[in-house]
Amino acid sequence: MFMTQRGTEELLGRPFSDEQFWPSVELAHSDIWFHVGTAYLRQGGTGYRHYLLTRPSDLVALIKETDELFRITKVMAVTPPAVNQSGNWRMQRLINLVALSNAHDLLLVNYIYEFENGVIHDTRSNSECDNSACRQVLFSEEQHAWPELEVDDR
Residue 151: is its pLDDT beyond 60?
no
Compute CA distances 83 → 31, 32, 65, 78, whole Å.
8, 8, 29, 10
Residue type, 5: Q
Are 36 and 71 spatial neighbours (Cβ–Cβ below 8 Å)? no
Residue 28: its pLDDT value, please? Answer: 83
Please state, for a pLDDT cut of 90, what percent of the chain lies above it: 55
Are 2 and 25 spatial neighbours (Cβ–Cβ below 8 Å)? yes
Q: Kindly report whether the global pTM for this prediction surpasses the value 0.85.
A: no
Residue 36: is its pLDDT beyond 50?
yes
Q: What is the average per-residue pLDDT within 53-78?
A: 96
Banded pLDDT at 9 (limits 50, 70, 90): confident
Count of all residues that appear for the chain in the document: 154
Are 111 and 97 spatial neighbours (Cβ–Cβ below 8 Å)? yes
Q: Kindly state the helix (H) or strand (E) to which residue 53 belongs, with its residue range.
A: strand 45-53
Q: What is the average per-residue pLDDT within 86-107?
A: 90
Banded pLDDT at 79 (limits 50, 70, 90): very high
CA-angle at 61, arms to 74 and 48, nearest 5°: 40
